[in-house]
Structures are given as C-alpha cells and as structure tokens.
Structure 1
C-alpha cells in the first residue's frame, strides 16, 4: 500500500533554524525538498565522508574473528583514522614503486647483473659504453664499419652488445638500452624491502580492522551531520523568517502538529499537487514485505500515484521462479541454502523468507512435473516421486503413456493462462481505480480486458493449434478496439466529445497497443522455453556423467554432475532475473500504465543515537 502524503510548508524564525532543524530531525517524519547547494562545511563533511568510506572499504577486506566493542575516545579514534589514511596512501605509493621496479627488473634481466656505477666510472676515463639489442643478422653490418663492440649475451634471435666510444651506425637497426639507476641485485633488495614494508602495513591494517564498527558508526554520524547541513542550506530566508517545504505521511500529521505547536512553528498542510514529485512510502503486511529485497536490488520505486504491486509481484514472481528453475532438486538445494543462512544469521530476514518461498514453489513445480536433477532414472527408481507427478504436464510423459507433444502443449497453455490472467488483472485494477475517480475511461479498460481474453484464444490457435471460431474472435477484438478508442481519452472533468476526440487521435497508437497486447500474451511462453532449456542442459550433463559413474571414473563422473548442475543453477537464477522480473516489470506493469519513476520517501531523521553522534 502506498501511504497517503501531505504537502507541508514550515515557517520559523531564521535565528532559530538550527534548533528547529534538530527538533525536526528528532521527529523524523518530514521528507524535505532539498536544494542542491554547497558551502565550506558541506564540502568538508563530504571529504570526510569519502575518506571514511575509503578506510571502511579497505578494512572490510580483513577477516576478523571478533570486532572490538570497547569504547574509543575521540583522540584514540582520530589517531586510528589518521593512521589508516596514512597507511592507505603509503601502501598505494609503495605498490606503485614495487610494480615499476619489477617492470624495470624484467626489462634488464636479459642483460644480466651489472653495476651502472661502474659504467659511469668508465665514462670518466673516456671509455663510453652504449648498450644495444640487435638481431643476429644485423651484426654482419658491423663487421665492415669502424665500430668497436663487445658481444655480451644472446637472447633468442637477438644479441646484446656494447659499443665502445661510438653509437650504432645509421644502417644498423637496434634497440638502445637506457642505463638503469641500480643493478639487478640492488633492485631485488629494494623490492624485498618494499615487500617487507607492505607486509607490515597489512599487519597494521589487520589491527585497525578490529575497530571497523567504530569507523562505520563515525561514518553514520558524518552522514547525518552532512544531511543536516544540506537541509540547513536548503532553507530559504528573508529577513527574520526562514521556511522550507516537504512531504509528510498523512498518518504522521498529528505528531507533526504537536511538535510544531511546542516549537511555535507556523505551518501549512495541504494536498500535494498533481505534478509534484511526491515521495513514495510503501507499507505492506509482513508476508508481502518479503518481496522488498527484490525491489531494493532492482532499484525500482513506483510513482506516488501509481500502484503498489508488491503482493501481485510476489505471487507471480514465485510462480515464474518455479517454472523457470523447474527442478525440485534445485529447489531443495535453495531450501538448504536458506536454512544454512538462517542458522548463520540466527534470524530469518525478508531475503531468507523469500528464499524459502521460492524454494518451496520450485519444489512443488518440479515435483508435479517429475523433474529431479532432470533425471528420468530417479522417477523410475522412486515410485513415490512418480506418484506425485501430474501426467498431463510431466516432463517425462512417456512414463505415463502420454505423448511428449501433448504434455508440452499443456504447459504452454498454462503459461498463456498465467499471462492472460495477469494482464486481465491489470485491466481490472485500472477499472477499479478509474471507477473510484469517476472517470469514464474505466470502460476502455473493460474493453482491454475483453480484448485480452479474446486474444488468448487467438494465441492458442496460432501456437498450439487449438481450433477456435476465428470470426467470433475477430468480432470481439474489433468491438473492444472501438470501445477503447471511444472511451480511452475520457477523464474526470473532460467533456465527452472532447474525450472522444482525444481517443480518436490515438487510434494508431491504440492499434499498436493491440498488437502489443497480443505479443505480451505470447511473451509468457518464455516460462516454458527457459524451463525446457534448463531441463535439456541437466539431461545433457547427466548423459555425459552416466558412463563414468562406475569404477575408477566415478570421481570424474561426480565432478561432471556437480559442475554441470551448478552451472545450470546459476543460469537458472540469471534467467529468473531476465525473464521472471521482466514479465512483472514490463508486461504486467505496462498494462497497468506504470512507469516506475517514483522517489523513495526519505525523511529527515536521526540515523544514529544521540550518544553516538560524535566520537
């Protein structure tokens, strides 16, 4: 359910704005219209926030058995914080240095170890050596020239030489070696020294990582302070008065009024305008709220005036997940994983409960279709599992005396039924909302509803070959199309003829939407197709491993099964994201007219306890 919001304009004394903001933050209800602005304080807090995030990201990479819970003084924390920043900078510099030295060492390795200082000393005595790497065939060009050179070493088809008191003649191709600052031995010592220091830094980081929770707490405090300053900068002032605006849940109006009266604020509370970017606050029953992690991962938020489809998303997503994964054994693996996470965390959060639901639906679908690791042999070996199968939708219908084509057609039909039901549900939701708005446009949605029902039979005829009365279908679709045109442009307060003209102007787009509605129903066949693909992959790996599951090849056969089914599991999860989510966010949401352009309700509130605001 999307919570109703109220528009709030708050007026207060300019010289009391900071104390007023603290009271407002403590209330924690008002979503403030923040204006992008900056000042020296905001910039400093932003820089501090970035530095803390860098430190936390570094420390999070170290495994710690138990984090320190001992309170830190402000001075002690500052010392640790500055040490961590210095170590990060030092590690970065040393890592760059050691990398450059290793590259230089590799460049010089083919030349062997020598002392650059000795080469420089020879130059002082008028013996200047220049070093080149030339192809072996190029040496013949030097024989006739008045060039003295020393052959030092060979490297494949190349030769390392040193010319004495001369450069390489123009006709000879060679690569000159730049004299290094240090010998290979010295470079090795320097690299070893740097590596030792890097090891010491790692040890120091491991010690500081014990206090990771303190850094996180300080970051939360800085973020809270930064937002306070941003909100403060968002206040508009004129003379002795300052004001701001925002949005408040209707259920929190009484609490706001109580605080406003105590603080002696002036305020105006009214309904948000139609075009205002009202934030979206969603509240659902606990059993529906388990789908929230999916929305959080996707980053999708419905607009304030759109639908909260959490319940329907959960219902259909569970069905889609089951049909795409399609294997009871895979569902059992997910269930075991959920139990393991539950035990480790010692509580079941929304993500774990959702995993339980998806696991169970996968097990149910896999059981009634007779799919356990995609193996026919398991069904034949375990009569109990075979007895649980519903033959008309079985993946191995031959075990029940049925044709594979008939079973596949039945599953496809189920996919189309699910799709049609979901799309018709969207139409029904639109009808209900527009009836509440007293908009004649609800008739157009009834037209879409009837059209979708007719198109379902057309899909069955084209895909499965089910005989239908094509003339009747065409008549229903045609009449529904006209109804949509007549009433699609109607709206509250709009004269009927004007709405009729608007609907007529959209005739071509309505025609395209009709084609889209047809394709949307067909789109649900992806549930069948992806499920069958997963089954085929499982069968392929089973066939590969079957000859090896005996004798000395048994470990290899088990490895093939583990890797094969592991890959299939991962691909199944990816398919759920691509296809299962898509059907909800595109086909279903599109029929609802949703654009998912909402903004999360983010009230100005305390995010850390008062006693922990500073360290």
Structure 2
C-alpha cells in the first residue's frame, strides 16, 4: 500500500471525493485539524448524517415490509444482484418517485398496524362479552320505575348455593340470576327493588361482587357479539386489501434496493468528507491505495481536477490497511484466514503457506475418496452454476480443493465409501488396520506444521530486520523443540526402536543445548541478571504447550478413522436384513443414502472446524 495526499480546490471537493469512491481503491484516513491551528477545520456533517440515517431506516423498513408480505424466492446460494453504473444513475435521477413508493408502502404498513390494534381491541371486547352471551336483557337496560338492574361477577370461591340460600334472608327484595361460571368467577345479573338498592348492593359487596359496565354498548349481548364478528370480518377484509396493495408494489423492490445502496454510498461519502481538512479555498485529504494503482490514480486526478497529488511509501513503523491479493489455492484460504484475523500490515500474508496445510489436513480427516469426489463435484457445480459473492466463491473454491485432497488420501488409504473390498488397493496403507502407524504420521505432520509456523514468524522478524530476534526467538526454539522431539522419538508408536534410540541420544544434546541458549536469551528484555535468568528459565515451560499442540494433531487419526469406520458400518447395516430381495434392495438403498449422507455431512463439518 502507498500513502496518498491530495491538496485541492474547495469547490471541487465533492466531485473529487465522488471520483475516489468510483475508483473504489482508496481508503480515506482522518486528518487532525489541530495540526493546522485555526486556519483549517473539518466540515460539519452531523445533520447530513442524521438525514441520511433516517432515510436509510425508512428504506430498510420498506424492504423488510416487502420481505414480510411478498418475499422473493431466493436461490440456494443467493448473491447480490449486479448493477451497472448506468442503472445507478437512472435510479438516482428518480429518487423522488422511488421515495414516494417507499412512503406509500410505509403508510400501508402503518394502516396495518392500526388495523391490528383495532382487531386486538375488538377481540378483547368479544372475549369480555362471551361469558354474558346468555343474558337476554339489553346491556343498557335501565330497569323500571320501581326495579333496578345491575350485572357483575362474584368470585368462584364463593359457592353459588351459599348465595342462593343467603339472598332471601339478607337481600329479600332482589332476584339474582347466574348466567355463567368459570374457574375464577360467577357471572350474574340482579333485579332489585329500588327501595332496597343499598341493602342489596351491601350484601353483594360482602360476597365480593364486582359490577360490570358495558360502556357504550346497547342491545343484547348476543346482538353485540354478532356485530363484533361482522367487524372482525371487515377488519380481515381491509387487511387483505392493504396487503394486496403492498404486493402490487413488489415491482418497486429492485429500485428500492438500489436506492438503499445509493444512500449507503452517500453515507460513506459524508463520512469521508468528515475526515477532510478544509479552509475557505482549499482542502486536504490523506489516505491509502494499492501500490499498483498509484500511478494511474495520480494521473487521473491531476488531469481531471485542480489538485496536487503526492504518493509516498509508508514509514517503516507506520501501520496501513491490509489488502489481500492471492490467486489459486492461496485465494481459497482467505475465508479461513479472515475467520481469525488479517495479518498485520508489516507481516507476510500466511495464505500461501498455511492454506496447503489446511487442504491436506482436511483431506486426511475426511479420508474417504468417494466423499472427496462428491465434495469436489458439488463445489465445482456451485462455482459453475451460481454467480456467488466473493467470500462464498472463495469458500466453495476451498471446498473444491479439499475434495481433491480427500480423493488423494482416499487413494493412499484405500477408502472409497467404506467398501472393504477396495482397501487392498491402497497406495500406502490401511489406516483402520494400522492406527498406530497413522498416529505417528499424524504427529509428524503436526511437527512439520508447527515448524512452518515458526518459520513464518522468523520470516516476519527478518522482514523487519530483526535478525537477532529471529535467531533467538525462532532459531533457538528450533534447536530446543527438535531436541525434545528426537528425545521422545522412541516412545512414538510404530517406530523402529533400534534406530529411534540412536537418534534420541543426539536429541538429548540438542535439548540441553537449546535449553541453555533459551535461558541465556529469552530474558534479554528484563533488567538485572537474576530477572534475565529466571525469565529465560520460565520460558522453557513453553515446551509443554508445544508438545500439547503436537498431540492435538492426533485428531487427524481420530476423524480419519471415524469416517472410514462409520462408512463401513453403514455398508454392513444395509445388507444385514434377511428379507425378500426386492424389499431388501429398497431398504439397503435407503440406509446407504441416508447413512452416507449423515456421515458425509458430519465429517465434512468436523474436518472444516
């Protein structure tokens, strides 16, 4: 990456920033206005950002509404629709029309929300009236000249027999009628003589009576329930009419999606403007762009704008944005790298070095060549048939290479859909019959992988001209770790013990020499001889971590065995039923298809993780 500095005329600032965005390869950095005192400042963009954010919220909400009521049928591997610059400019020129569609759809959604609230209110009223369905008197019945009418509830804990037995004595001038009873309360209405109103209500209150009011309703409960049902039908009809109107506007989706992207780009432009330092006459922009585009960018800007462009390499200690540029196998490994973290701007891109190990180890863990064929074919078809997003394309490319790797190891170990008859044709050995040998090779692959990682660390140190650090922090660890590996070699399974013992004697000397070298150098950053010594001594504990990491590579054996053994078990299960041949064929086919599909899916996931 190169650093770019632009000094231009203020009146061309907007057009120049738009050109940089169309160029698509410049990352604009922040410039501190404190370096220029009171003569320069950042543009004020808070109101513009707030305005754009509100529009983005409206447009996103509209897209969510369309997804809810008229969802698009998406392919198995969806990708963003390609849009050319002419279409973007056309949509940009029709912004007002598209925004009118946006606001119209939002209004429809608001109407649906109001209908939902009305529906909830009416449903609640319906549920509250339902227990009173058998009340034949109008709910607004005022009584007569000498009799009054009221309705209400009494807790169900109060037995109705008790009420009926007490009323003649404690409220003799009233009649109480039960309409309904549920687990919580009795629903009743009371006809009473007006002269005994207080006496009647006092008794009822002593039994927990709670008067029910029917608000502005009139007529019988049954009549009101029927009217509510009609109202609910009308609400449902209105809802469908509004939803149909929303569906009729599904054709606006593409334009609204492009409008959202235009607004997002506009927001990015405003954020870029915020990083600019300007005066009344000029502006200053600093940023980064790829080295290979530096000359063309400089020529384009200087030929189209009144601007001074300065391109320079970053200082040795200056951090800059990271842009990965890989092809082939290394490019396929970028999704795995991004899953953890991108390398530092001063570090070597590990994709070219570590991706081959990922692919090799994936194949070792899946190990069945038949599964590798399926994986490679599936990935190839997806890459060929679908226009994928860049990250998805790289992932599928990685799966294709992993499928090829699995096919290779299937040839080496004789694993093809768990078919035991093909195992004798293995080019190397059968891992199921020789698990100890496979374990030894797995540990060796782990040692190689760890050593390559250490080598990458050394390369990064050398790149920064830290030659002694590379020697002390990598070279001496190579000596120490190699000594440990050779010392422990006789204990590895399936190893020629006689030769291993001879080699291990050399390993002891290397181990001791490495330990001394590390004790003398790993505490070099500390002050004082004692601190240096104990810091160097404590660093030897990293051997435990190294050996633990090496042992973790036994999963190459574990997952490889799991794939092969489960595949073989599925094959055995498919032919173990003593049933008629025709039925046996169908059952065997089902078991093979389902069993191998599950085994394939689980072990592909396990190998990837």
SS at match of 1:440: helix
- Work out whether residues 3 and 289 of structure 2, in 8 Å CA contact, stay in contact via their aligned partners in 1: yes
| Corresponding position of 2:334 | 292
Answer 1 or 2: higher relative contact order, Cα 8 Å, separation at least 6: 1
Structure 1 residue 428 displacement after superposition: 2.0
Cα pair distance change 1:65/1:538, threshold 3 Å = closer
Structure 1 residue 462 displacement after superposition: 5.7
Q: Distance in 1 between matches of 2:483 and 2:255?
A: 63
| Corresponding position of 2:603 | 572
1:257 and 2:290 are equivalent in the alignment: no
Alignment counterpart, residue 379 of structure 1, candidates 409, 420, 423: 420
Structure 1 residue 440 displacement after superposition: 0.9
Alignment counterpart, residue 413 of structure 2, candidates 366, 369, 375: 369
Cα pair distance change 1:321/1:352, threshold 3 Å = same
Q: Distance in 1 between matches of 2:337 and 2:202?
A: 70
| Corresponding position of 1:353 | 397
- Work out whether residues 459 and 521 of structure 1, in 8 Å CA contact, stay in contact via their aligned partners in 2: no
Q: Distance in 2 between matches of 1:171 and 1:478?
A: 96
Alignment counterpart, residue 26 of structure 2, candidates 22, 25, 30: 30
1:389 and 2:426 are equivalent in the alignment: yes
- Work out whether residues 368 and 409 of structure 2, in 8 Å CA contact, stay in contact via their aligned partners in 1: yes
Q: Which moved more, 1:84-93 or 1:414-423?
A: 84-93
Alignment counterpart, residue 468 of structure 2, candidates 423, 428, 440: 440
Instruction: Map Cα deviations across residues 499-537 of structure 1 (whole Å, 9 max, x no partner).
Output: 999965743662343221111111212232234445555
Structure 1 residue 185 displacement after superposition: 4.4
Structure 1 residue 281 displacement after superposition: 0.9
Structure 1 unaligned regions, length at least 5: 398-406, 579-615
SS at match of 1:245: strand
| Corresponding position of 1:431 | 458
Q: Distance in 2 between matches of 1:355 and 1:191?
A: 54
Structure 2 unaligned regions, length at least 5: 32-41, 76-80, 191-199
Q: Distance in 1 between matches of 2:425 and 2:129?
A: 70
Cα pair distance change 1:547/1:45, threshold 3 Å = same
| Corresponding position of 2:435 | 408
| Corresponding position of 1:325 | 366
Pairing 1:64-83 to 2, within 5 Å after superposition: 73-83=94-104
| Corresponding position of 1:479 | 513
Cα pair distance change 1:213/1:463, threshold 3 Å = farther
Q: How many residues align?
A: 548
1:10 and 2:6 are equivalent in the alignment: yes
Q: Distance in 1 between matches of 2:572 and 2:227?
A: 59
Cα pair distance change 1:443/1:477, threshold 3 Å = same
Pairing 1:157-172 to 2, within 5 Å after superposition: 160-162=186-188, 164=190
Cα pair distance change 1:273/1:569, threshold 3 Å = same
Q: Which moved more, 1:95-104 or 1:121-130?
A: 95-104
Q: Distance in 1 between matches of 2:468 and 2:136?
A: 91
Cα pair distance change 1:139/1:233, threshold 3 Å = same
1:315 and 2:356 are equivalent in the alignment: yes
Alignment counterpart, residue 63 of structure 1, candidates 57, 72, 75: 72
- Work out whether residues 33 and 245 of structure 1, in 8 Å CA contact, stay in contact via their aligned partners in 2: yes
SS at match of 1:111: helix
Pairing 1:555-566 to 2, within 5 Å after superposition: 562-566=593-597
- Work out whether residues 335 and 360 of structure 1, in 8 Å CA contact, stay in contact via their aligned partners in 2: yes
Structure 1 residue 300 displacement after superposition: 3.2
- Work out whether residues 368 and 394 of structure 1, in 8 Å CA contact, stay in contact via their aligned partners in 2: no
Q: Distance in 2 between matches of 1:179 and 1:97?
A: 18
Structure 1 residue 321 displacement after superposition: 2.4
| Corresponding position of 2:38 | none
Q: Distance in 1 between matches of 2:606 and 2:209?
A: 56
- Work out whether residues 290 and 353 of structure 1, in 8 Å CA contact, stay in contact via their aligned partners in 2: yes
Q: Distance in 2 between matches of 1:357 and 1:15?
A: 53
Cα pair distance change 1:416/1:207, threshold 3 Å = farther
Structure 1 residue 308 displacement after superposition: 1.0
Alignment counterpart, residue 559 of structure 2, candidates 517, 530, 534: 530
1:451 and 2:480 are equivalent in the alignment: yes
| Corresponding position of 2:15 | 19
Q: Distance in 2 between matches of 1:114 and 1:505?
A: 92
Q: Distance in 1 between matches of 2:132 and 2:348?
A: 74
Instruction: Map Cα deviations across residues 407-466 of structure 1 (whole Å, 9 max, x no partner).
Output: 111222222122111111122223334344152112121222233334445666667485
1:272 and 2:314 are equivalent in the alignment: yes
- Work out whether residues 138 and 173 of structure 1, in 8 Å CA contact, stay in contact via their aligned partners in 2: no
Structure 1 residue 370 displacement after superposition: 4.0
Q: Distance in 2 between matches of 1:170 and 1:472?
A: 101
SS at match of 1:11: strand
Instruction: Map Cα deviations across residues 191-249 of structure 1 (whole Å, 9 max, x no partner).
Output: 44444444444444444333433222222221222111111122123564432322232
Q: Distance in 2 between matches of 1:431 and 1:416?
A: 23
Q: Distance in 2 between matches of 1:166 and 1:463?
A: 95
Q: Distance in 2 between matches of 1:542 and 1:430?
A: 47
- Work out whether residues 4 and 309 of structure 2, in 8 Å CA contact, stay in contact via their aligned partners in 1: yes
Q: Which moved more, 1:47-56 or 1:119-128?
A: 119-128
Cα pair distance change 1:473/1:111, threshold 3 Å = farther
SS at match of 2:17: helix
Cα pair distance change 1:101/1:483, threshold 3 Å = farther
TM-score calculated relative to the size of structure 2: 0.74
- Work out whether residues 52 and 267 of structure 2, in 8 Å CA contact, stay in contact via their aligned partners in 1: yes
Alignment counterpart, residue 152 of structure 2, candidates 126, 130, 149: 130
- Work out whether residues 134 and 175 of structure 1, in 8 Å CA contact, stay in contact via their aligned partners in 2: no
